[in-house]
Amino acid sequence: MNINFSRYDTLSTLLAGTTAALTIVISQPAIAKTPQEVASIAGPLTVQINSSLGDGSGVIIAKTGKTYTVLTVNHVVEKADVKYTVRTSKGKNYQATSVTRLQTADTDPDLAVVKFESPEEYPVATIADSDQAVIGTQIFVYGYPATGGLFGAEREPELSPGLVTSRPGNRPEGYTLRYQAVTWSGMSGGPVFDSEGRVIGLHGQGEFGFAQTSSGEVAPIKTGFNAAVPINTFIAKLVAAGINKSELKVDNTPATQGPVSTANPQDAQAYYFRGLSRLDQDNPWDAIADFNRALAFKPNYTPELYFNIGNARTLLTSTSIDTTRAPSAIQAYTRAIEANPGFADAYYNRALAYLDNQDQPKAIADFQKAAELYKQGGRTSAYLDALSRLKQLQ
């Protein structure tokens, strides 16, 4: 069955275009950075994009005189009649002088360019060939999440590490760089860095997937998978963006830190990651097998392992006549909750599994707990989603 993932707002039709390779090469050899070094690079480059409609992030990719160019995702700045403010790492706010929306049709990638003017000096991001970000590649998502009750200018930046789980040829709105990482609303438009601190994509998709239940209904499940529009997709849109390649700082040298190998796993971590990659590629049977191998190495691995076993079993429900799979999903989510009592997504997904098992009282209790935890964590969209589910049941 298909696992379809939604960005924070809407779904669109499949991207029809192809990506183009970068052509500007810097001959300096790349050196893998520590997460702390990547964060120090990301901080001055990453900006907030705020408006009356919501919060987003972006990254400075060019400068001409006092004019800075910020790359973000279109759904952060999609309304033409709204004023947008760029807030930099120095705490300075600037009105956007122009917004160029590169998504003019449903088949276009979710990208936009924002410009602002400032006498302050800010660095420009180095971008790299996103085609090199293969499965198993280390990535870092950086942005300004709206969590902990903080919104707009109050938001604080956050670095979230992850690994690339799949590189599909086509996905809605160009989201073909997919990874397992922790992200929140407000980080949309934020840069995705490789291990050398170079931008390889724009984050903008996450939160949940859709799975068909045994009754035939389509329900959202929380997954932890996220996606970005690869930077190469933006390079193919430079003419539409009004940007010359000479304005960009590009380094196409291969990363010195290679991808995590999944060809011959030898430990719990390798099996777990291969399971994640297989789950993301719509192969839950083999994903479960790898998750179980990870458990054989380390029986008490992580709550996320049990959570993803639950997800895989949930995705199998609609394609199998074996009705025991829903209880198996419940058992896996329960193990995740036992290991981490604050695991909001596990409560949410277990509630869906209870509904599929015709146990409405337990589903209501889990949706209530998920809503409480989402509210505490500042995950507004997830909180409202859980409240909506409760209203439907009560």
Superfamily of domain 302-393, CATH level 4: Tetratricopeptide repeat domain (1.25.40.10)
Residue 27: the pLDDT is 38
Cα 54 vs. chain centroid, distance in angstroms?
A: 18
Token pair of 24, please?
A: 């500007």
Residue 111: the pLDDT is 98
**Distance separating alpha carbons of residues 141 and 190, to the nearest angstrom:** 7
DSSP secondary structure, 342-374, as one string: T-HHHHHHHHHHHHHTT-HHHHHHHHHHHHHHH
Side-chain-side CA neighbours of residue 183 (13 Å): 36
Residue 107: how many CB atoms within 10 A of its CB? Answer: 16
Q: What is the mean pLDDT of residues 375-388?
A: 86
Beta strands at 249-250 and 126-127: parallel, antiparallel or unpaired: parallel
Residue 394: the pLDDT is 82
Cα 155 vs. chain centroid, distance in angstroms?
A: 18
Longest dimension (CA), the chain: 66
* Residue 240 confidence (pLDDT) above 90: yes
Those residues whose C-beta lies under 8 Å from the C-beta of residue 342, and which sit 6 or more positions away, are 373
CATH number of 4-250: 2.40.10.120
Residue predicted with more confidence, 175 or 379: 175
Residue predicted with more confidence, 187 or 327: 187
**Distance separating alpha carbons of residues 255 and 30, to the nearest angstrom:** 6
The 10s digit of each residue's pLDDT in 126-147 is 999 999 999 999 999 999 998 7
Residue 7: the pLDDT is 39
**Distance separating alpha carbons of residues 362 and 355, to the nearest angstrom:** 8
SS3 state of residue 233 = helix
Q: What whole-number percentage of the chain has pLDDT above 90?
A: 65
**Distance separating alpha carbons of residues 164 and 84, to the nearest angstrom:** 31
The 10s digit of each residue's pLDDT in 5-61 is 333 332 222 223 333 333 333 334 455 789 999 999 999 999 999 999 889 999 999
Residue predicted with more confidence, 200 or 215: 200
**Distance separating alpha carbons of residues 248 and 202, to the nearest angstrom:** 16
DSSP secondary structure, 99-163, as one string: EEES--STTS-S-EEEEEE-SS-----EE--GGG--TT-EEEEEE----TT--GGG---EEEEEE
Domain ranges of the chain: 4-250, 302-393
SS3 state of residue 75 = helix
The 10s digit of each residue's pLDDT in 282-321 is 899 999 999 999 999 887 778 999 999 999 998 886 554 4
pTM score of the predicted model: 0.82
Residue 316: the pLDDT is 80
Residue predicted with more confidence, 6 or 375: 375
Residue 157: the pLDDT is 95
Positive or negative, the CA dihedral 3, 13, 48, 196 is: positive
**Distance separating alpha carbons of residues 332 and 228, to the nearest angstrom:** 29
Residue predicted with more confidence, 320 or 95: 95
**Distance separating alpha carbons of residues 127 and 27, to the nearest angstrom:** 14
